[in-house]
Structure 1
Amino acid sequence: MSEVLAGKAAVITGGSTGIGLATARRFLAEGASVVIAGRRQTELDKAVAELGGDVLAVQADVSDADDLDHLYARVRETRGRIDILFANASILQGHSLGGITEDLVDRHLDINVKGLVLTVEKALPLITDGGAVIVTSSVDGVKGGPGRSVYAATKAAGRNLVRSWMQELSDRRIRVNAVSPGRTETPGLAALAGDLDVEEFFGHLATGMPGGRNIQPDEVAAAVTFLASDDASGINGIDLPVDGGFAQI
């Protein structure tokens, strides 16, 4: 690794598994100190043991304002600032019109929209001028799709927030970008397999992908690392698809 993030202090929500964990690994390899946040302490403990290096784990639910206050208090105590914020935490629960419940809508909005807004809002006093904010959106925010309409709507909302925040933070030279994964082999996607074997489920999804394969978490992490680095100093307000071309078909 070239250590393009040397000396940077990074915070990753949803950092204990999947894309968040892969990004934490990349950030550490590139010289950053990393704070990961997640809802499940067991998963956080596993992540810390796997990652090693300059990493701190804080249990926090992004939909809970008090949890976020605790997270950023720990960041202030241990890092003093945030150079890179990767607002990655989100959920996807399968649902179809005709079976959508109020609880399902509330949960998606609480984590994917309110949680995203509060994650960035409460981090602002710690984010350095010239820092980088990256938001995890999804190709579903553009394509939509059966069985995930509410989720897709929340991801479209995240993409639009990036457009507004990029302008609002321009006086502080804080770049705000989105990354949009598509069909990425994460534990979250595996949870949608239901009664199917996970590998069989992933294989089925791959048949609908250009190139016939799904995306791996480290491929998304590589894109996030680029957006977080000074190599992307001229890139602001974009939505970077990491989907093997899925959004184009």
Structure 2
Amino acid sequence: MGSLDGKNALVTGGTAGIGLASARALADAGAHVFLTGRNQSTIDAAVATIGPAATGVRSDVSDPAQLDAIVDAVTAHGGGLDVVFTNAGGGEFATLADTTVEHVNDTFTRNVAGTLFTVQKMLPLLNSGASVILAGSTAASRGVPSFGAYAASKAAVRSLGRTWAAELAERGIRVNTLVPGPIETPGLVGLAPAGGEQELLEQLTADVTLGRIGQPEEVAAAVVFLASAASSFMTGSELFVDGGEVQT
């Protein structure tokens, strides 16, 4: 038996990288996984790699109206939600001098508003004892040049997690923030200028105590831990999966 047998889980941004690895790991642990994305072809491809334990839903978390599609899919399946991993989000480099209103609005809409309204919309579906896992970032704990808006948005997510842990405790719902370090994903590599991907990975590796970039499956293992009863006495916490980037 898996640690999540009979459970239902939601992974936003679940078509690639950490999201897809987490959806697979949750399904392997016994959960039925609802994964979301913005492109139907990538959604279909992700579901195909998991099989019947996955349901794909086209939804952009930056548009609250599109979250209704997730609610409809979960309701049609039945059983509510036991796990929510708000993985969708992202950001781009911009120095203080180059930061625009559009850059800030886009970053905070995706990472903060997207997280907030996803959890809010799922509240009626959350079962007692459910685990909500928010995607943080080590950038929120470090001064990373040209990453100010992104870091600030992830610091806001961390703050929301603490507040929601207190608000939802009476329902038996736990809320924790998962903080990956540099993980080899399309999103991370995509931050580099054309031809500069390897240089970016080498720069990031220099800050990691373990001396290497992490893999999505290593973060996914932590997602399963936070989703399961193994973390039953954790809420309002930050769990760092960063190879020692921030901790040493």
With the shorter chain as reference, the TM-score category is over 0.9
How far apart are the structure 1 equivalents of 2:110 and 2:204?
25
TM-score (norm 2): 0.96
Report 1:1-249 matches (<5 A).
3-249=2-248
What displacement does 1:197 show? 4.6
Instruction: Specify the SS of the correspondent of 1:117.
Output: helix
What displacement does 1:200 show? 4.3
Contact 1:91 1:112 in 2 (8 A): yes
Instruction: Specify the SS of the correspondent of 1:26.
Output: helix
Instruction: Specify the SS of the correspondent of 1:210.
Output: coil
Instruction: Specify the SS of the correspondent of 1:124.
Output: helix
The amino acid that maps onto 2:227 is A
- For residues 72-108 of structure 1, the C-alpha deviation after alignment (integer angstroms, 9 at most, x for no partner) is 1111112340010111111121111111111111111
How far apart are the structure 2 equivalents of 1:144 and 1:185?
21
How far apart are the structure 2 equivalents of 1:54 and 1:224?
17
Give the % identical residues: 43
- For residues 129-165 of structure 1, the C-alpha deviation after alignment (integer angstroms, 9 at most, x for no partner) is 1111000001111113101100000000000001100
What displacement does 1:38 show? 1.1
What displacement does 1:71 show? 1.3
The amino acid that maps onto 2:214 is I
Equivalent pairs counted in the alignment come to: 248
Root-mean-square deviation over aligned CA pairs: 1.2
Stretches of structure 2 that go unaligned for 5 or more consecutive residues are none
Instruction: Specify the SS of the correspondent of 1:71.
Output: helix
Contact 1:28 1:53 in 2 (8 A): no
How far apart are the structure 1 equivalents of 2:73 and 2:52?
18
What displacement does 1:231 show? 0.9
How far apart are the structure 1 equivalents of 2:50 and 2:15?
10
Contact 1:139 1:247 in 2 (8 A): yes
- For residues 170-223 of structure 1, the C-alpha deviation after alignment (integer angstroms, 9 at most, x for no partner) is 110100001000111111001012123534432332122112101111111111
How far apart are the structure 1 equivalents of 2:27 and 2:222?
15
How far apart are the structure 2 equivalents of 1:196 and 1:210?
26
The amino acid that maps onto 1:64 is D
How far apart are the structure 2 equivalents of 1:34 and 1:139?
27
What displacement does 1:10 show? 0.3
Instruction: Specify the SS of the correspondent of 1:193.
Output: coil
How far apart are the structure 2 equivalents of 1:177 and 1:108?
21
How far apart are the structure 1 equivalents of 2:180 and 2:42?
22
Instruction: Specify the SS of the correspondent of 1:28.
Output: helix
Contact 1:169 1:175 in 2 (8 A): yes
After TM superposition, where is structure 1 displaced by more than 4 Å over at least 4 residues in a row? none
Instruction: Specify the SS of the correspondent of 2:246.
Output: helix
What displacement does 1:111 show? 0.8
TM-score (norm 1): 0.96
What displacement does 1:36 show? 0.1
The amino acid that maps onto 1:104 is H
Instruction: Specify the SS of the correspondent of 2:155.
Output: helix
